Chains A and B, each alone.
Chain A
Amino acid sequence: MGCKCGSIETANCHCGRIVGINGNMLTVEFYGTVRQNEVAYVVLGESRLKAEVIRIRGRYADLQILEEPKWLKVGGHVDFTGELLAVELGPGLLTQVFDGLQNPLPELAKQCGFFLKRGVYLDALPRDEKWKFTPVAKKGDTVKAGDTIGTVPEGIFTHRIMVPFSLKGRYSVERVATPGSYTVDEVIAELKDKKGSIVKVSMVQKWPVKVPLKCYSERLMPAETLLTKIRILDTFFPVAKGGTFCVPGPFGAGKTVLQQLISRNADVDVVVIAACGERAGEVVETLREFPKLIDPRTGKSLMERTVIICNTSSMPVAAREASVYTAVTLAEYYRQMGLHVLLLADSTSRWAQALREVSGRLEEIPGDEAYPAYLESVIAAFYERAATVKLHDGSVGSVTIGGTVSPAGGNFDEPVTQSTLKVVGAFHGLSRERSDARRYPAIHPLDSWSKYCSIVKPEDLQLAQKTLRDGNDVAQMMKVVGEEGTSIDDFIMYLKSEYLDTVYMQQNAFHAVDGTVSAERQSYTFDKMVKILGTKMVFDTKDAARIFFQSLTQKTKDWNYADMDSFEFKELEAQLDKMIGEVAARAKNLQ
């Protein structure tokens, strides 16, 4: 058998040949050394298709091919690289749209036109662009992995050029480039290790995606609320910077819309969007609209703080798994600069399904719904990469991870949802009943939970939650005994909870004012809610009570839709106060 590297049957041989093809799984006979999870290229005519080693048995390695396997043949040549699947890190990642293997899609479109083309791998970072470098480290400084050598401006951020994360131990700085413009490939520093060998550093470095980036001094407790401007989240089921949350829900319940809203409004520096195995159209919305939307925090376009990783459902399945890791690695990279990063993954179930497909082809013993037994640990390890960390220079950065889950049949009692629930800090469960009734966002107010800190006072929150629970109890009871069998006080409790649900838990995402509600306004409105919920009310008939709450609801909605600085806002508030004042007075008189 001819071997291109000429070193057949020795440890130095990097070649192999295909002996079996089953979907996107190749069995490859190899002659030298092979590393688990290393990248290999399958040669097909002029092109080379990326694959990843996922199992080794004797002389055979099983590879998942990260492209369409069409037209491969038994006997086909395989080149092993010895390197793990890695991404490029450096300035120029922001505003980009990558596929799961970090191919820049706009550049790919320039080269290949309307369609994706397999075997085309472009540089993730533009090679001709120059960055304005300002040195930070000086000759003679002692540095270690992750320390800042210099900075370049990247859009709205100061991008830190850091000592490569893969370097171990301490180095002394031999040379740092003078201020000026450099491309990512130019050497901007030379470092010397203890033995005196020189390491040349450029602005781009590689990092294997499946290895968490840990160049920080300690992990901190996620304490600060990550504001989303969505009432039901910030007030009831908050997310913390450095925390994790999941959004399971049946199809069409609003997972993607919710993530899109969060990606626009979240109070973080950088947002990484991983479109994993879902619709291409949804990514198009983001990538076409973000450049036009202004981020109120910076006054610049939203795209400037965004990176999109896009491996949609018709793109190669095996690359789906890579895509979530690519995304989290980019997020960790920006965290190293002391930034707060939010990673949104839609949908983690598609990634889990990719794992399942592979596991099935490897003929591993299947667990529940044919998912592999290690599903739970894989999911846990992924969410573990979220954290608030203190970096070596004392600055604080965070990666927050939010993933959607798409359970089969909308039933949360399935492996992906259950494994995820065990590890996340907040659960935003979407319900079919609520989305059918157009109660958006369709987050279930009783089933959902969060371990993080809300923006309102705990005792107020408890009152609101008790109202919702009690109201629900009454509603359930009414189903059995009817309205006539329900006491008027219970009925009022029910109306109060419906009121809170309608005007506070629900929010019109498409409305200019109601769509995004600042923390300040949320607290203000919530105080009003608390006051209303705590008001004792007496009505002669249930119909009278219902009519009162209907007009109260409409008034409050109008109030929600009014700009907080407007005259209308004050006027509507006065009318609301008057309505409440009148019922309260009546209740008092009757006592």
Chain B
Amino acid sequence: MRRIYNKIEQIVGNVITVIADEVAYGELAKITSPEGSSLAQVIRLEGDRVSLQVLAGTKGISTHAEIRFLGHSMKTPFSKSLIGRIFTGSGEPRDKGPAITENMIDIGGPSVNPVKRVIPRNMIQTGIPMIDVFNTLVESQKLPIFSIAGEPYNPLLARIALQAEVDIIILGGMGLKHDDYLFFRDVLEKNGAITRSILFIHTAADPTVECILVPDLCLAVAEQFALQGKRVLVLLTDMTNFADSIKEIANTMEQIPSNRGYPGDLYSQLASRYEKAVDFEGAGSITILAVTTMPGDDVTHPIPDNTGYITEGQFYLRNGRIEPFGSLSRLKQQVNDKTREDHRAIMDSMIQLYAMYKESIEKQSMGFRMSAWDNKLLKYGERFEREMMDLNVNIPLEQALNLGWQILADCFQPAETGITTKLTEKFWPTIASNSAS
């Protein structure tokens, strides 16, 4: 069986077409031309016409490049020696360490049988009240940070990663700015966390479509560790670059776009990655925290929109703060009934009041007279933003709940909060705090 070919029939975008036989769908090939070599993956078969997506891009590829079919699909090594190492977006060492070739495993493997999952049950403490109190993060959750460019999403990711009690951190960088790559590396090193981290880094300088492998590489490795009982946290930044690569290939393949140029299977493509988040019955877990930058700050853009339909909530990062509206942890109810009995009441009531504060602000900005109630809300909203929303606040949950009561008591009468009498009788503070004006 012939496995090496020397003639490319067609080059369009990052997809090449070769005449070959006995090629399998999804098979990997190595394309070698004088400029260098790249991996390519079979994405369509029509008779003996084989279309391959060239991961490093087709720039400079000659029609006489060598195409060698490898007889397997994309794989990654898996062993303990990955820990502490840094790789490129296609799995080559990026640090000065040796290449690892032992125990090669498939990436993009089958999904977990739902009956082998358990209901998530462990809270991940972050010290950030907007997360711990209002949108609790839970082990095995898949959750993106929706953000616009320029927001401190990478520092936020790093902060949560360092604070979280997990066994292994896997960072997948897609189109990461080199500075951001160095930032992550240094932060992990400085905090001693690099010894439990693995980095797969595709930077903005690398060929764009190469980032398409990053989530699968990270998640395949994460899955193996989780099966060994490890709690793994996977950080993916920025999934928008991943989605844009999918779009680019779909367009090259002349798929009919469904929405603003994005292919109709964007949902399934993203879901097959995010759904790898799991809490295994009798083994470990995978938690996925991702960054999705919103093109044009538009949450209805197909990337954040499809992501929101897949993930278990999202954190909106705006003006350096996690917005209470729109931000959501869908797993919070799995854990916030076991923290403290007032947790849910504080969570609901403070957000409802903050929503009313926003209405009062709007009225004020239109020049309407402020009622006594409006004035209470204005006072409340200002304190809520300063003492709860500010990302510099770093306090444990209990303390945050107490602070919540204090703010409420400084601004309102118990009946005005909408909290049931049972709870207000038990938790309502009797002394005003000194920060009350």
Is B256 a contact partner of A360 (Cβ separation < 8 A)? yes
Cα A97 to Cα B117 in complex, Å, equals 13
Q: B348 to A438, Cβ gap below 8 A?
A: yes
Q: Which residue of A lies closest to B108 (CB)?
A: A70
Cβ of B305 < 8 Å from any Cβ of A? Answer: yes
Q: Who on chain A is nearest to B331 by CB? A: A281
Contact A408 B302 (CB under 8 A): yes
Nearest chain A residue, comparing its CB with the CB of B354:
A437
> Whole-angstrom distance between the alpha carbons of A19 and B47 in the complex?
5
How distant is B46 from chain A, measured CB to nearest CB, in Å? 5
- Docked-complex contact A409 and B300, CB < 8 angstroms: yes
- Asked whether any CB of chain B lies closer than 8 Å to the CB of A557, the reply is yes
The verdict on B100 contacting chain A, using a C-beta distance below 8 Å, is no
**A355-373 interface code vs B (CB 8 A; 1 in, 0 out):** 0110010010010011100
**Stretch binding the partner chain, chosen from B199-207, B232-240, B257-265:** B257-265
Q: Do B348 and A370 touch (CB < 8 A)?
A: no
Partner of A356, one of B26, B264, B278, B367: B264
Q: Give the CA-CA distance A484 to B371 in the complex, in Å.
A: 9
Given A369-B259, A482-B363, the answer on whether A554 and B275 have CB atoms closer than 8 Å is no
Binds A, one of B81-89, B165-173, B416-424: B416-424
Cβ–Cβ < 8 Å partners of A484 in chain B: 368-369
Select B305's contact among A72, A280, A289, A409, beta carbons within 8 Å. Answer: A409
| Contact between chains at A483 and B333 (CB < 8 Å) | no
Query: Would A118 and B110 be within 8 Å (CB), given that A314-B275, A437-B352 are in contact?
Result: yes
Residues in A with CB closer than 8 Å to B46 are 19-20, 22, 27
Q: Which residue of B lies closest to A439 (CB)?
A: B352
The secondary structure that dominates the A interface is mixed
Contact B265 A357 (CB under 8 A): yes
Task: Please choose the segment from B54-62, B176-184, B309-317, B396-404 that sits at the chain A interface, where 4 or more of its residues have CB less than 8 A away.
Answer: B309-317
Q: Please indicate which of the listed interface residues A22, A112, A546 has the most CB atoms of chain B within 10 Å of its own CB.
A: A22
Determine whether B227 belongs to the interface, using a CB cutoff of 8 Å to chain A: yes
Q: Size of chain A's interface in residues, with CB distance under 8 A?
A: 79
Docked Cα-Cα span, A155 to B407, in Å, equals 54
Residues of B within 8 A of A436 (CB): 325-326, 355
Cα–Cα, bound, A241→B435 (Å): 57
Query: What number of A-B contacts does a CB cutoff of 8 Å give?
Result: 212
CA distance A406 to B368 in the complex (A): 38
- B149: interface (CB < 8 Å): no
> Would you give the shortest CB distance from A47 to chain B, in whole angstroms?
13
A-B contact pairs, 18 of them (CB 8 A): A22-B45, A71-B27, A115-B109, A115-B113, A118-B110, A279-B310, A281-B119, A281-B312, A315-B111, A356-B258, A371-B258, A409-B305, A410-B305, A482-B369, A543-B372, A546-B373, A550-B415, A558-B420
A294 interface residue per 8 A CB criterion: no
Question: What are the nearest 4 A-B pairs in CB distance?
Answer: A482-B368, A409-B300, A313-B271, A314-B275
The yes or no answer to B405 lying at the interface (CB within 8 A) is no
The CA of A158 and the CA of B418, in the complex, are separated in Å by: 48
Q: In the complex the two chains form, what is the Cα distance from A19 to B355 in whole Å?
A: 59
Q: In the complex the two chains form, is A279's CB within 8 Å of B312's CB?
A: yes
Q: Mark B245-285, 1 if CB is under 8 A from A, else 0.
A: 00000000001111100001101100110011010100100
> Are A370 and B258 also in contact (CB < 8 A) when A21-B44, A288-B119, A554-B420 are?
yes
Determine the chain A residues whose CB is within 8 A of the CB of B114 once the complex forms: 97, 105, 280, 283-284, 287, 310, 312
Instruction: Contacts A73-B25, A436-B355 given; indicate if A483 touches B363 (C-beta within 8 A).
Output: yes
- Chain A residues 85-110 with CB under 8 Å of chain B are 97, 105-106, 108-109
Q: Identify the stretch in B5-13, B16-24, B90-98, B151-159 within 8 Å (CB) of chain A at 4 or more residues.
A: B16-24
Whether B258 and A369, one on each chain, are in contact in the complex, defined by CB atoms closer than 8 angstroms, is yes
| Shortest CB distance A64–B (Å) | 13
Q: Which residues of chain A are within 8 angstroms of B271 by Cβ–Cβ distance?
A: 277, 313-314
| A interface, CB within 8 angstroms of B | 19-23, 27, 68-75, 97, 105-106, 108-109, 112-118, 250-252, 277, 279-281, 283-285, 287-289, 310, 312-315, 317, 350, 353, 356-357, 360, 363, 366, 369-371, 406, 408-411, 436-438, 479, 482-484, 502, 510, 542-543, 546, 550-551, 553-554, 557-558, 561
Q: Is B25 in contact with A69, judged by CB distance below 8 angstroms?
A: yes
- Is B264 within 8 A of A357, CB to CB? yes
Q: How far is the CB of A43 from chain B (nearest CB, A)?
A: 14
Task: Select the residue from A106, A313, A356, A550 with max chain B CB neighbours within 10 A.
Answer: A313
CA distance A113 to B45 in the complex (A): 32
Of the candidates B21, B118, B351, B415, the one whose C-beta lies within 8 Å of that of A438 is: B351
B32: A residues at CB distance < 8 A: none
Let me know if A350 and B313 touch, CB within 8 A: no
B73 with A70: CB separation less than 8 A: yes
Residue B308, interface by CB 8 Å: yes
Partner of A370, one of B44, B73, B257, B312: B257
Report the separation of the CA atoms of residues A112 and B109 in the bound assembly, to the nearest whole angstrom: 14
Residue of A115, A252, A315, A366 touching B308 (CB-CB under 8 A): A252
Partner of B268, one of A118, A310, A313, A411: A313
Q: In the complex where A313-B268, A438-B348, A542-B371 touch, is A117 in contact with B110 (Cβ < 8 A)? A: yes
| B369-A483 in contact (CB<8A) | yes
Q: Is B382's beta carbon under 8 Å from chain A?
A: no
B48 at the interface (CB under 8 A from A): yes
Query: 13 additional contacts, CB 8 Å, given A22-B44, A437-B351, A484-B368?
Result: A19-B46, A21-B44, A74-B21, A74-B47, A252-B328, A279-B310, A280-B114, A285-B119, A314-B271, A350-B267, A366-B256, A370-B264, A479-B363
A482 with B308, Cβ < 8 A, contacts A20-B47, A73-B25, A114-B112 known? no
Give the residue of A71, A283, A366, A561 whose beta carbon is less than 8 angstroms from that of B73: A71
The verdict on A73 contacting B23 (CB below 8 Å), with A114-B227, A554-B418 known, is: yes
Q: In the bound complex, how far is the Cα of B333 from the Cα of A19, in angstroms?
A: 51
A551 adjacent to B415 (CB under 8 Å): yes
Provide the residues of chain B in CB contact with A313, threshold 8 Å.
Answer: 267-268, 271-272, 275, 310
A313 and B311 alpha carbons, distance in the complex (Å)? 11
User: At the interface, yes or no: B185 with Cβ under 8 Å from chain A?
Assistant: no
Q: Are A284 and B118 in contact (CB under 8 A)?
A: yes
**Given A19-B47, A279-B275, A313-B268, A483 and B421 contact (CB-CB distance below 8 Å):** no
Does any Cβ of A come within 8 Å of B330's Cβ? yes
The distance from the CB of B284 to the nearest CB of chain A, in whole angstroms, is 11
Contact assessment for B368 and A360 in the assembled complex, using a CB-CB cutoff below 8 Å: no
Is B383 in contact with chain A by the CB < 8 A criterion? no
Q: How far is the CA of A75 from the CA of B33 in the complex (A)?
A: 30
Q: Are B280 and A353 in contact (CB under 8 A)?
A: no
